[in-house]
Chains A and B, each alone.
Chain A
């Protein structure tokens, strides 16, 4: 048997977390003279997440891009026909790399801005990373469910311990909303496991033809879970709360990766396993997506809190993902996967951008800012880049995802595409308004007079994301070549796409 590279990627962070806990448990937290906790533990955590990233690069290189189906498969029996089965295709490969890239970035961004309970912080992030990677690797439905759900606990703790003033409310809302959705999925998972003669292997379930009646409600059960996670209108209300209250790094992970699990779920389960129901519910999903795009954009426009604005913009951008997926065209699905990856980079970067000024001024109110360009020129240019990427300016990765999902949607339903196009205009309105009010104009807040530009640490976080945004904007084929197989696979049951 080959070296279990996927297990290595998945469980390296967990091993790191256990090790850190043990060492800290034996030595106790070292306090510095000013009463803050010694942050060597942060570097220890960083080493493990960077190691994970490096292992994921090895995984990426050992993937056969000419091959088809799931690769790097590992199988071990778990119990009663349920397996520990891991494997990746092009789509999950890229999402894993996105995860392993964003986690160290999030941790670097937390250096210095998180001052208390560092051990727990680092452990929560590393544990969360394991579960996120596990979600994208799992090729067994029950295993997928375990990883999918398990991530809630560390995220709950991250929001609840290191969050803002309303953190308790936000963490409970986040947890219970997601749990309610997921439990319906659990019921469906058990049903499918039984229907498929006691096997929950995803590869086998894709071949299993559920009868149309069962498909309808199974689809709805999965939809309940993924729609909350994505999130789709009208079950998105947990997201602005969670984002606003979460620490910067939590927001980066939440927007960058956790939201993608919803889109991933649709492509991995809903389309291939319940094709009839997917077709049946297409108008329903289109309606929700267009409403999400237009409504969330309008709501974003009226926000006074920067993080909330970006959170609503995430809801709108996820609307494009569902639109693309449910267009059932190759171009639409390709666009949706691309949009997920691109949004992972852009929204992660935007939350970091907000975090930069929040660390200095300790407010997220747009009103408190203005004229940042006079004091922070590098910051202003990076902010400009990600603003434009979020608007969907050609040359950035945001453009490719939006245009392709709309082309896909246009083939399926002209009206839906027209509604989505409206959302693109609105996104320019709210993002440019945000940018103008914070960066341009005169400095009105005296606190901003002495504000310092981005430092090396922040650049280290933002530059990789900036490179990715531009690179994939100019050469989107780098992504498409890898995900084509997955897109066609997702559409295979829908009559060839």
Chain B
């Protein structure tokens, strides 16, 4: 009855993560503080191994009577999320050590969050989905308040928790309504249910909950506060791995559970509106920000808006574009948060954009790399981000979403202003004091992501073919 081979093909990375996470708890209980330093490196290793397992079982499979189903599309997102999680974890080590919060729980929480991401990506049933969502969310709440002595961190965690619980409630209520009309929680059965008004009511509630998880407007209000308050390495994690996973899950649910023509017509409009609102809120909201983390929070809202354009384009046109766009965003964000982590002065972190003044004179390499990353995240030609935006525009055109394209263009110009403002501060302004040196992982991540961003612009072909093949696995 249990076909081990199929089970491994489907959820091998999750099994590894669960084993490692639980094993870590036991080891930690015995070793105590001696496990702290080791845990980060082991955790990163486990995440990389999980990414490797996803590549190994690239074709995926279907197990447990359809409770889980892994497609190439999901595996693509898993590889990116797990790798991003590993990098974010490695970047955290130095920061945590300096703040005397290097505890093994941190790595374990990241692993449990990654487990949640893996589960939601492989879910083919709302029950599995909800389990994964809660695993991810609960780990995230704790991570946000990891600096429990800092009021800012505690506030961020509390805000995140209260609003996140509300969103989970909405999601669960939506699931229950859809279940009521479909008589099942399986994506497959739901996809064949007639889209009645009540059914779509449940669908809209689910969209609301999911929009919160990806921080799309108007469910975005937690994002700037959490980004500002939570410890920087935690934000580097939040902005990358869970974003990738949640956005792809959002797409998977819309594409596979609600493909009915009537439902599609409705969710396309709703997601289109959410996308437009996110793009504008993200672009305009970032304009007055002086805190770099807050600004990047708004920037991520805008970028989620662009990604949602690809979702709104529907599975045929949007699936491949979504993967390219999100990967470009994750790579650039990792590097940019590396930049946030390298802003150390007088033994503490500084977060104001003005602290970057004249960086080009003091640390030309760092300033150039950050410029490349800003260019990439803004979708300007010269870096991978441009191809992400190109892919989204392509999806938008193919689906005929002309109003969304116009909003996308306008918000891109507005957003360019604040990215340019950072470039201006780094290049034009008189120099401030130098930053204190940071650990190698952070520097490595910044340079590596900048180089990858440029390299993928040129050698995009294998990557775009991979994304297309991954997308083909969920196109009916």
B458 to chain A, nearest CB (A): 8
Contact with A along B411-422 (1 / 0, CB 8 A): 011001100100
- Pick from A145, A160, A176, A191: contact of B428, CB below 8 A: A160
Instruction: Indicate whether B382 reaches chain A with its CB closer than 8 angstroms.
Output: yes
| A residues near B375, Cβ cutoff 8 Å | 153
Instruction: Indicate whether B160 reaches chain A with its CB closer than 8 angstroms.
Output: no
Say yes or no: B427 contacts A157, CB within 8 Å.
yes
Say yes or no: A176 contacts B424, CB within 8 Å.
no
Instruction: Indicate whether A78 reaches chain B with its CB closer than 8 angstroms.
Output: yes
Instruction: Indicate whether B365 reaches chain A with its CB closer than 8 angstroms.
Output: yes
Known A-B contacts A153-B382, A184-B409, A187-B393; A25 and B428 likewise in contact (beta carbons under 8 Å) = no
Say yes or no: A160 contacts B424, CB within 8 Å.
yes
- Pick from A21, A79, A147: contact of B464, CB below 8 A: A79
Say yes or no: B420 contacts A175, CB within 8 Å.
yes
Say yes or no: A146 contacts B382, CB within 8 Å.
yes
Instruction: Indicate whether A33 reaches chain B with its CB closer than 8 angstroms.
Output: no
| B residues near A176, Cβ cutoff 8 Å | 413, 416-417, 420
Instruction: Indicate whether B381 reaches chain A with its CB closer than 8 angstroms.
Output: yes
| B residues near A44, Cβ cutoff 8 Å | none
| A residues near B380, Cβ cutoff 8 Å | 149-150, 152-153
Q: CA A171 – CA B468 in complex, angstroms?
A: 39
| B residues near A443, Cβ cutoff 8 Å | none
* Residues of B in contact, count (CB < 8 Å): 32
Known A-B contacts A150-B381, A183-B413, A190-B393; A171 and B424 likewise in contact (beta carbons under 8 Å) = yes
Nearest to B460 among chain A residues (CB) is A79
Say yes or no: A156 contacts B405, CB within 8 Å.
no
Say yes or no: B460 contacts A78, CB within 8 Å.
yes
Which secondary structure dominates where chain B touches chain A? helix
CB contacts under 8 Å to A, within B197-245, are none
Instruction: Indicate whether A180 reaches chain B with its CB closer than 8 angstroms.
Output: yes
Q: CA A21 – CA B413 in complex, angstroms?
A: 30
Instruction: Indicate whether A77 reaches chain B with its CB closer than 8 angstroms.
Output: yes
- Pick from B394, B397, B424: contact of A172, CB below 8 A: B424
Say yes or no: B424 contacts A25, CB within 8 Å.
no
Instruction: Indicate whether A288 reaches chain B with its CB closer than 8 angstroms.
Output: no
Say yes or no: B364 contacts A156, CB within 8 Å.
no
Nearest to A152 among chain B residues (CB) is B380
A82 to chain B, nearest CB (A): 9
CB contacts under 8 Å to B, within A166-213, are 167-168, 171-172, 175-176, 179-180, 183-184, 186-187, 190-191, 193-194
Category for how many chain A residues contact B: 35 or more
| B residues near A77, Cβ cutoff 8 Å | 461
A282 to chain B, nearest CB (A): 27
Q: CA A287 – CA B152 in complex, angstroms?
A: 60
| B residues near A184, Cβ cutoff 8 Å | 409
Instruction: Indicate whether A80 reaches chain B with its CB closer than 8 angstroms.
Output: yes
CB contacts under 8 Å to B, within A69-83, are 77-80
| A residues near B381, Cβ cutoff 8 Å | 145-147, 149-150
CB contacts under 8 Å to A, within B390-438, are 390, 393-394, 397-398, 405, 409, 412-413, 416-417, 420, 423-424, 427-428
Instruction: Indicate whether A407 reaches chain B with its CB closer than 8 angstroms.
Output: no
Instruction: Indicate whether B360 reaches chain A with its CB closer than 8 angstroms.
Output: yes
Count of inter-chain pairs, beta carbons less than 8 A: 81
A23 to chain B, nearest CB (A): 13
| B residues near A146, Cβ cutoff 8 Å | 381-382, 386
Contact with A along B455-475 (1 / 0, CB 8 A): 000001100110010000000
CB contacts under 8 Å to A, within B339-393, are 360-361, 364-365, 368, 375, 380-382, 386-387, 390, 393
| A residues near B365, Cβ cutoff 8 Å | 25
Instruction: Indicate whether A142 reaches chain B with its CB closer than 8 angstroms.
Output: yes
| B residues near A171, Cβ cutoff 8 Å | 424, 428
Instruction: Indicate whether A161 reaches chain B with its CB closer than 8 angstroms.
Output: yes
Say yes or no: A80 contacts B464, CB within 8 Å.
yes
A177 to chain B, nearest CB (A): 10
Say yes or no: B382 contacts A194, CB within 8 Å.
no
Instruction: Indicate whether A120 reaches chain B with its CB closer than 8 angstroms.
Output: yes
A86 to chain B, nearest CB (A): 14
| A residues near B428, Cβ cutoff 8 Å | 160-161, 167-168, 171
| B residues near A152, Cβ cutoff 8 Å | 380
| B residues near A25, Cβ cutoff 8 Å | 364-365
Q: CA A393 – CA B434 in complex, angstroms?
A: 57
Say yes or no: A194 contacts B416, CB within 8 Å.
no
Say yes or no: A190 contacts B390, CB within 8 Å.
yes
Q: CA A179 – CA B413 in complex, angstroms?
A: 7
Say yes or no: B382 contacts A79, CB within 8 Å.
no
Q: CA A459 – CA B451 in complex, angstroms?
A: 42
Say yes or no: A191 contacts B397, CB within 8 Å.
yes
Q: CA A256 – CA B460 in complex, angstroms?
A: 34
A155 to chain B, nearest CB (A): 12
- Pick from A147, A157, A167, A193: contact of B394, CB below 8 A: A193
| B residues near A179, Cβ cutoff 8 Å | 412-413, 416
| B residues near A194, Cβ cutoff 8 Å | 394, 397-398
Q: CA A186 – CA B381 in complex, angstroms?
A: 11
| B residues near A117, Cβ cutoff 8 Å | 361
| A residues near B420, Cβ cutoff 8 Å | 156, 172, 175-176
CB contacts under 8 Å to A, within B258-293, are none
Q: CA A442 – CA B221 in complex, angstroms?
A: 68
Nearest to B382 among chain A residues (CB) is A150
Say yes or no: B409 contacts A78, CB within 8 Å.
no
Q: CA A194 – CA B387 in complex, angstroms?
A: 15
Nearest to B380 among chain A residues (CB) is A149
B374 to chain A, nearest CB (A): 10
CB contacts under 8 Å to B, within A13-31, are 21, 25
Q: CA A370 – CA B420 in complex, angstroms?
A: 41
- Pick from A120, A147, A167, A193: contact of B360, CB below 8 A: A120
| B residues near A186, Cβ cutoff 8 Å | 390, 393, 409
B271 to chain A, nearest CB (A): 20
Q: CA A146 – CA B393 in complex, angstroms?
A: 15
A433 to chain B, nearest CB (A): 35
Nearest to A145 among chain B residues (CB) is B381
| A residues near B397, Cβ cutoff 8 Å | 187, 190-191, 194
Q: CA A318 – CA B409 in complex, angstroms?
A: 28
Q: CA A133 – CA B53 in complex, angstroms?
A: 46
| A residues near B416, Cβ cutoff 8 Å | 175-176, 179
Contact with B along A136-163 (1 / 0, CB 8 A): 0000001001110110110011001100
Q: Which 3 A-B pairs have the closest CB atoms?
A: A146-B381, A79-B461, A183-B409
A residues with a Cβ closer than 8 A to B are 21, 25, 77-80, 117, 120, 142, 145-147, 149-150, 152-153, 156-157, 160-161, 167-168, 171-172, 175-176, 179-180, 183-184, 186-187, 190-191, 193-194
Using A25-B365, A120-B360, A146-B386 as known contacts, list a sample of 20 further A-B pairs with CB atoms less than 8 Å apart, ordered by residue number in A. A21-B368, A25-B364, A78-B460, A78-B461, A79-B464, A120-B364, A142-B390, A146-B382, A152-B380, A161-B427, A167-B428, A172-B417, A176-B413, A179-B412, A179-B413, A184-B409, A186-B409, A187-B393, A187-B397, A194-B397
A-B contact pairs, 13 of them (CB 8 A): A25-B365, A77-B461, A149-B381, A150-B382, A157-B423, A160-B424, A161-B427, A167-B428, A171-B424, A176-B413, A180-B413, A186-B393, A191-B397
B residues with a Cβ closer than 8 A to A are 360-361, 364-365, 368, 375, 380-382, 386-387, 390, 393-394, 397-398, 405, 409, 412-413, 416-417, 420, 423-424, 427-428, 460-461, 464-465, 468
